[in-house]
Amino acid sequence: MIRKTLAAIALLSLSSTAFSAHIVSGSLDASDPTWDGCGSSLATGCYYDVVEFNVSASGLYTFDAFYAGDTSIDENLDGIIEIYEGGFDPLAPGVGGIAFDDDGPGGSNTSQILDVSLSAGTTYFMVISSFTNVANSFGQPTGPWEVTGVGAGDVTFKTTVIPVPAAVWLFVSGLAGLGALRRRRSS
As a whole number of angstroms, the distance between CA 157 and CA 183 comes to 40
Each residue of 42-75: pLDDT tens digit?
Answer: 567 888 899 999 999 999 999 999 887 654 445 6
As a whole number of angstroms, the distance between CA 151 and CA 55 comes to 9
Average pLDDT score over residue span 91-107? 85
pLDDT at 129: 86
Torsion sign, CA atoms 170, 174, 180, 183: negative
Helices (H), 42-133: none
As a whole number of angstroms, the distance between CA 34 and CA 1 comes to 65
Lowest pLDDT segment from 58-67, 68-77, 128-137, 178-187:
68-77
pLDDT at 83: 94
Q: What percent of the chain has pLDDT over 90?
A: 26
What is the second-level CATH architecture of the domain 18-177?
Sandwich (2.60)
Strand partners, 97: 84
E strand or H helix at 185, and its extent?
helix 164-186
Query: What are the domain boundaries of the chain?
Result: 18-177
| Identity of the residue numbered 65 | A
pTM over 0.85? The answer is: no
Lowest pLDDT segment from 52-61, 75-84, 122-131, 158-167:
158-167
Lowest pLDDT segment from 16-20, 34-38, 52-56, 97-101:
16-20
pLDDT at 169: 43
Q: Are 133 and 30 in contact (CB under 8 A)?
A: no
pLDDT at 157: 92
